[in-house]
Amino acid sequence: MLLNSNYVINEKLPSTNWHLKENTRDHHTSKFSSKELIVRRGQAFVVTFSGIEQPDQNLTFIAETGPKPSKQAKTQATFGISSTVSKENWSAVLQSTSSNSASIAISSPANAVIGRYKLSVQSTSSGSSSPATLGTFVLLFNPWSSGDDVFMSNKAECEEYVLEEFGIIFSGNTHHINSFGWNFGQFQGDILNICLSMLDRSLNYRQDPATDVSHRNDPKYLGRVLSAMVNGNDDQGVVLGNWSGNYEGGKSPSSWTGSGEILQNWKKSGFKPVRYGQCWVFAAVLTTVLRCLGIPTRTITNFSSAHDADGNLRVDEFYDASGNHLERGADSVWNFHVWNESWFSRSDLGPSYSGWQILDATPQEESGGIYQCGPASRNAIKEGDVELDYDCPFVFAEVNADRMYWNYDPATGKKTLIFSKTTTIGQFISTKAVGRDDRVDVTSDYKYEEGSRKERDIFKKAHLNLILVLANLHKLIDSHELSLAAMATGLSSQAQHKRKTLILGMKLCSLIKVFTISFFFFLSEKHFPVKISYAEYQQQLTTDNTIQITALCHVEGGIQVLVQRDITLDNPAIDIQVLGEAKVNKEVDVEVVFTNPINAEVMDCVLQVEEVPSSCYQKYINQNIDMDDFDLNTEMTQNFLLAHSFKPAFHLN
């Protein structure tokens, strides 16, 4: 409801008092080194502006952010003075007035877009069509507000994961855990501006600035964007990784002690990636940025951390017969790996998946075409729900992959499983204690007790969610149809009662046939018979007669599982009968019989007959066989010709 304020704005630019001390104290932003007002969404702040005359008229405020503010994108809000604060929309409540000034309590909704806003005010009676600018302020996430997605009820945890500037990161190995301090410095001068610059330099922003800004109300969106921006692989992000041991042209990753210098150097260089970083540097910088924007965040160290490059939930290591490790395959195990957990709700997945979400800025594998990872729900990882967004299979493997040791023979290409270990990956998962410099082990939050039946059941559940089998692939012999069946396999549990889509593709030179089947996965197995007619693949069939069958299982809102099988189609049989007596250097009649297996007329067929070179007769000459006895009708002669691959080739065009 709009009330008569009895005030209008003077034509001159009004003077604005942002009440920095009071507002920043109430909004937990007093640690920022800034003369600009920094507040948190879902909570009122007071602004006083002067330069007012007193005709009887209404005031209208405009708050806008981004390059193309709009009400539809929720990057622009127009609101008048009301009697009460609105929880769903921007609102302004008159606090006090004097002869030429007014104090207004302005509130944003708890799901407002975060970023730098311009605040303006307008009065219709002033006769001016343009609003007067009061100034700018920065709006952040608010973990102290119950309506915010990042709300954290524990005040001590809010202090630790949002306001604490110094932390401890753990490193080493499972037998010797080290720790070192880190200055996150999220409140240092200009760090907030640099963090906002990171958002404006992301690939998402470059592609569609207005849409990107409109999504900045969502912590999972921002977390994913920033996990990409902290590394410099795709987008001229903050830090360039280097694991070579040669750090010429930059600094050793172990020489950094805080994020502030890194972020400042990034800006000073014209936003070129800072050289160099490794996992703890990426995680520490991401901690700084997310805490700065108001998202509760901490660093997590995983010892014996798996890098499962091929998505099969196992780490394969290869050795030769002498026990030498072979650099074969992209899987690896790191002594330790550091990533982030950020706290926010997951309305896209449901309340059981809210809480700590895993983000990883270290460039390991592409996700969605760029180097980013997460947010993966930690609860989903523990329960093996790897079909959920985002990057759950990769994170699950980091803490729970099976380690497989293979003997590999380079000469034959044969690999033999030596042994496997199921309990070595994901040990002593660690983070700093709240309010203390102690290590807290959070392994039990990621998985059930190692080696326990529950842990193994969860692993099987996660692994079976990834299994899709192509079965019953029949060769084309007497039928013009290609028959195959896909079989999806998983566990029979309530967690599996999700809609899945099976996509079957037949690939020759190009994809020519796609089947899409949508189904609910109630059973432990489900079979999908498919028949493909000759007419659908004849033009694409190549001389090798090989067809690649691809089955892709897509879970709604989850992962895609892909398997492939190659099959070779048999040529139809050709029966050759020699009519009459066959002698060397003498004509003979031969009858070629072919049965057309397809329901279509065969045109322009070619029968290719290869002449036996005279050199092939030498064996018979050496065996004192009379060339006149070289009879095609004899079993001996036919066997000889077959042994030397003298077979007629029949091609259908």
- Residue 36 marked ligand-binding: no
CATH topology of domain 155-465: Coagulation Factor XIII; Chain A, domain 2 (3.90.260)
pLDDT-derived band at 6 (thresholds 50, 70, 90) equals very low
More confident residue, 498 or 346: 346
What is d(CA 160, CA 433) in angstroms, rounded to the nearest whole number?
A: 9
Matching fold, domains 15-140 and 470-568: yes
Percent of the chain with pLDDT over 90: 47
pLDDT tier for residue 449 given thresholds of 50, 70 and 90: confident
What pLDDT is stored for residue 578 in this prediction? 85
- Decide: 257 and 182 in contact? Cβ < 8 Å: yes
- For residue 42, pLDDT over 70 is answered with yes
3 state SS of 400: helix
Q: Please tell me the predicted confidence (pLDDT) of residue 479.
A: 45
Report d(CA 602, CA 624) in Å as an integer: 45
Active site residue 605: no
Q: Is the per-residue pLDDT at 574 higher than 50?
A: yes
Measuring CA to CA, which residue among 340, 315, 111, 306 is closest to residue 223?
340
How far are the Cα atoms of 298, 410, 429 from residue 303, in angstroms, in the given order? 16, 32, 6
Burial class (CB within 10 angstroms; exposed 0-12, middle 13-18, buried 19+) of 145: middle
Burial of 128 (0-12, 13-18, 19+ CB in 10 A): middle
Q: Residue 524 above 50 pLDDT?
A: no
Q: Which of 28, 158, 195, 279 is catalytic?
A: 279
* Helices 279-293, 191-200: crossing angle, 10 deg rounding: 100
Is 215 one of the catalytic residues? no
CB 139 within 8 A of CB 114: yes
Domain boundaries, the chain: 15-140, 155-465, 470-568, 574-652
The pLDDT value recorded for residue 55 is 35
402 is in an annotated binding site: yes
Rounded distance between C-alpha atoms, residue 515 and residue 509, angstroms? 18
CB contact set of 392 (below 8 Å; sequence gap of 6+): 376, 377, 380, 381, 385, 386, 558, 559
Q: Is 574-652 assigned to CATH 3.40.640.10?
A: no
User: 635: which 2 tokens?
Assistant: 């079993």
Exposed / middle / buried, residue 551 (Cβ in 10 Å: 0-12, 13-18, 19+) = buried
Nearest alpha-carbon partner for 384 in 174, 522, 558, 562? 558
User: What's the pLDDT band for 84 if we cut at 50, 70, 90?
Assistant: confident
Residues 619, 79: Cα–Cα separation, whole Å: 102
Least confident of 101-105, 363-367, 532-536, 641-645: 641-645
**Which of 42-56, 179-193, 325-339, 350-364 bottoms out in mean pLDDT, i.e. has the lowest?**
42-56
88 is in an annotated binding site: no
Point out the catalytic residue in the list 308, 331, 360, 389: 360
- Joined together, the tokens standing for residue 652 give 């259908």
> CA-to-CA distance for 321 and 334, rounded, in angstroms?
24
Tell whether residue 160 is among the known ligand binding residues: no
Q: For the domain with range 15-140, which CATH number is right: 3.60.21.10, 3.40.50.2300, 2.40.50.100, 2.60.40.10?
A: 2.60.40.10
Split at pLDDT 50, 70, 90, the class of 553 is low
> Is there a catalytic annotation at residue 337?
yes
Among residues 28, 307, 337, 554, which one is catalytic? 337
What's the fold here for domain 470-568?
Answer: Immunoglobulin-like (2.60.40)
